[in-house]
Amino acid sequence: MKEPTSTRLLKVPEGLDVAAEALRHGGLVAFPTETVYGLGANATDEAAVKRIFAAKGRPVDNPIIVHVSDLVQVAPLVRNYPAAAGQLAERFWPGPLTLVLPRSGLVPDVVTGGLDTVAIRMPDHPVARELIRRAGVPVAAPSANLSGRPSPTRAEDVMEDLAGRIEVVLDGGPTGIGVESTVLDLTADPPAILRPGGVTWEQLRSVLQGVRPAPAAAGSGAGGSDTGGSGAESGPARSPGTKYTHYAPRARVEVVAGDPTRVGRRLRELAQGHLKAGRRVALLCAPSTFRGLADLGGGTVLRRVLDGLDYKVLLAAEVYSQLREFDRQGAEVVLIEGVSTSGLGAAVMDRLGRAAAGRVWRV
Ligand code: AMP
Ligand code: MG
């Protein structure tokens, strides 16, 4: 739908009833979850869900995750609910785990991209759950960004992309985890991670032996050194969304991960090359790495160092908002220190690989 909409930016809890009402009447509401902001519509209202695709510019074959506030909402959405789903829900819901299950007739085609499955999760955020509870319907919600842009982790990010296109943005402050949910296909045998996310493969394995890890994204695979540019678009698209370029800022992104000394050296080489060519360079790295690069000269280096105990966790939480910030500052190249692919690193490197369109170096 192309008609302009005036978007109401509302605080919580005051805005919850207005937002729930909007959802019940076919409106679009952006709301915080523990991963990123979601753009919600009543999942059982085909016309409402279609508006999500229009607002985001999302390819229509990319299905949308259905969010619930309570386990009783799941049964009507699925044809069957395997025992493994029960065990996983018990352990990880509410939380950043999405389960792909056989869909029921209640779920419109537009939600699933015509697939015979539906992806469901229960978010671990009080605002998200209270909104869904008050709306009284399951809520289909992809990330609340324009398709292809970095996911939104703050209400301002949502406004930047979607103001004038949706009815309500609920401002619940910055989100916590920062990367999206893990998408687990329980209709595959053995169950397979389609997209790495906030619940790690290691955690899933502790409940469900034999679960298959996510296919390696460009540059995040084991072993290969110096393999920039292998492309993030290859491989089977069981989770259709994963075949699209994602999370990308306007700036060109390059990622270097591995041995800290070599990472520092490679980041320096890359930065110097770009600076020589007159490009505005931004750096996102750990403080220890930055100390070795502090002399990189020129007013054209925009720096952001993530200072804290766990660089991997911080990077997950802040990378999207940093990419947006660097865009606002006019960076032409963003150089990022990557992380190992264990634990949450699998999700972080997956997203970085896509933002970088495969320009990832393991050193
Ligand atoms: P987002 O658009 O960021 O919310 O991501 C949703 C992800 O879940 C995309 O990668 C979708 O392709 C995936 N997804 C949603 N529904 C299904 C489904 N029924 N089967 C497989 N993947 C799904
Ligand atoms: Mg998304």
Kindly report, residue by residue over 143-176, the tens digit of the pLDDT. 999 998 999 999 999 999 999 999 999 999 999 9
Radius of gyration of the chain (CA): 20
Tokens of 221: 């695979």
Tokens of 251: 């700036």
Q: What residues does each domain of the chain span?
A: 8-171, 252-362
User: Which ligand 1 atom is at minimum distance from the Cα of 239?
Assistant: 22
Residue 216 confidence (pLDDT): 73
User: Which ligand 1 atom is at minimum distance from the Cα of 115?
Assistant: 19
Report the candidate in 51, 77, 64, 57 with the shortest Cα–Cα distance to residue 142. 64
Residue 233 confidence (pLDDT): 34
Whether ligand 1 lies within 6 angstroms of the CB of 69 is answered as no
CA distance 184 to 53: 23
**What pTM did the predictor assign?**
0.91
Q: CATH assignment of 8-171? A: 3.90.870.10
Angle CA 112–348–254, to nearest 5: 110
CA distance 87 to 74: 14
Whether ligand 1 lies within 6 angstroms of the CB of 62 is answered as yes
Between 311 and 244, residue with greater pLDDT: 311
15-58 pLDDT, tens digit each: 999 999 999 999 999 999 999 999 999 999 999 999 999 999 99
DSSP letter for 215, please.
P
Whether ligand 1 lies within 6 angstroms of the CB of 118 is answered as yes
If pLDDT is split at 50, 70 and 90, which confidence band does 4 have? low
CATH of 252-362, one of 3.40.50.11030, 3.40.50.1980, 3.20.20.140, 3.40.50.2300: 3.40.50.11030
CA distances from 186 to 189, 210, 218 (A): 7, 12, 25
**Residue holding tokens 């401002």?**
171
Q: What is the average per-residue pLDDT within 240-265?
A: 87
